[in-house]
Amino acid sequence: MGRSPCCEINGVKKGPWTPEEDMKLIQYIQVHGPCNWRTLPKNAGLQRCGKSCRLRWTNYLRPDIKRGRFSFEEEETIIQLHSVLGNKWSAIAARLPRRTDNEIKNYWNTHIRKRLLRNGIDPVTHAPRLDHLDLSSFINLPQINLSNLLRLQTLLNPEALRLAASLQENPEVLLAKLQEHQLFNAQLQNQTPVFQTNQFENNLDQQIPLCNPSNALPAATSHSNQSHLMQGNVRQFSMNSEYLSGQTFQDTLTTAFESVYPLENFSYGASNQLQKDLSENTSFQSLNSGSNSSGHNFSFDSVLSTPVSSQYLPNSSSTFINGNTEDERENYCTSLSKFEKPESLDFDDFM
């Protein structure tokens, strides 16, 4: 028997949400909480289906959502988690505080995936693939740096290592070898040891503390040898918990709406006050103006930037937060091709 639709087809609005609809939804949830999505639209006076309301809330209006560009640490975390978990966006999102699975999925598909491909890395298997490598830039280098290629030793098969070694001695071989790369990649895909999702997932749950308010920080800090992967998360959560701890739920909801609709666009309230509060907060000042241990600056611009449909907001800056440029991230992804495994993952336990 087919399931009845969650909403009637007629009379239900689709498409981008308006500020008025968002306001209704937030106000309703402020009073009643996020429950019973089927009846919520009617009770809240919205011409939307419950599912649409739930998605809008969970992916956009929820107060504990961080908006804006992904930080360097977040991107690093996503890539490493994806190599273990695959396209399990919710599982990845559970380890990235204040990011939604939808946002991570979109960011992966529009940024990280393409960057990995350009750097010759298969975004599905995270194994090297010469047929996706941006060979034009590779060949145009005055001296092809094959030592990086040799550093792929973690996952490359012996054939790849022999190729890299021979190329280091005789770069002219490259073009000839490239003609064979289809065959090479066919072998590579079959031989390269690739993380098996079901193999690692349970161990990951045990070894990597989840970054949620109930357990993340103590658990994470108690594991002094946790990988760099999670250190970024812990730093971020520490920051997030400072942000949330001083606010009531309703305060948080209010500031969430104000961050969605900044003051310059709507006069819904104290967006400027929020920013003032942030700047006056000692911990925020130190975090915002300083650098973390990795030397990447945090910026609360990400929290307050462009979280609403673009037709309601002015253009956002194209610059990265944290001072990361596209080139820097490109280089970082190149370095990721070294395939360093997280220290917290003991491969012997899995094999």
Partner DNA sequence: AAACAGTGCAACCGCTCTGAC
Partner DNA sequence: TGTCAGAGCGGTTGCACTGTT
Provide, rounded to whole angstroms, the least separation between the CB of residue 350 and DNA. Answer: 21
- Supply the DSSP symbol for 225: T
> What letter does residue 183 receive in the DSSP assignment?
H
Please list every residue from 57 through 76 that binds DNA, using CB under 7 A.
58-60
Structure tokens at 255: 């500031």
Give how far the C-alpha of residue 160 lies from the chain's centroid of Cα atoms, to the nearest Å: 30
- One symbol per residue from 150 to 169: x for binding DNA (CB under 7 A), - otherwise; what is it? --------------------
Q: How far is the CB of 39 from DNA (least distance, A)?
A: 6
Q: How far is the CB of 178 from DNA (least distance, A)?
A: 23
Q: C-beta of 6: minimal distance to DNA in Å?
A: 6
Two tokens, residue 127: 């194994």
Q: Give whichever of 123 and 238 is closer to DNA, judged by the CB atom.
A: 123
Residue choice 74, 75, 103, 122 for contact with DNA (CB under 7 A): 103
Find residue 121's DSSP bridge partners: 128
Which value, to the nearest 10 degrees, does the dihedral of the CA atoms of residues 276, 279, 283, 284 take? Answer: 100
Identify the CA nearest to 337 among candidates 189, 125, 63, 185: 125
The candidate with the shortest Cα–Cα distance to 27, out of 306, 304, 269, 245, is 269
**CB 12 → DNA: shortest distance, Å?**
8
The interface region with DNA, picked from 47-55, 270-278, 287-295, 331-339 by CB under 7 A, is 47-55
- Of the pair 222, 318, the CB lying nearest DNA is at 318
Number of alpha carbons in the 13 Å side-chain half-sphere of residue 25: 30
| C-alpha pair distances (Å), 23 with each of 57, 105, 177 | 11, 26, 60
Closest separation between CB of residue 7 and DNA, Å? Answer: 9
The residue within the footprint of DNA, chosen from 23, 62, 88, 191 (CB under 7 A), is 88
Please pick, from the candidates 19, 23, 27, 55, the single residue that binds DNA as defined by CB under 7 A.
Answer: 55
# binding residues, DNA (CB under 7 A): 46
Cα(351)–Cα(349) distance, rounded to whole angstroms?
Answer: 6
State yes or no: residue 102 binds DNA (CB under 7 A).
yes
282-289 and 228-245 are packed helices; what angle lies between their axes, rounded to 10 degrees? 150
Q: Which of 30, 43, 47, 90 touches DNA by CB under 7 A?
A: 90
Site mask for DNA (CB under 7 A), range 219-238, x = bound? --------------------
Residue with tokens 């919710």: 90
CB 128 within 8 A of CB 160: yes
Which positions lie near DNA, rule CB under 7 A? 1, 3-4, 6, 13-17, 35-39, 48, 50-52, 54-56, 58-60, 87-91, 101-103, 105-107, 109-111, 114, 306-307, 309-311, 315, 318
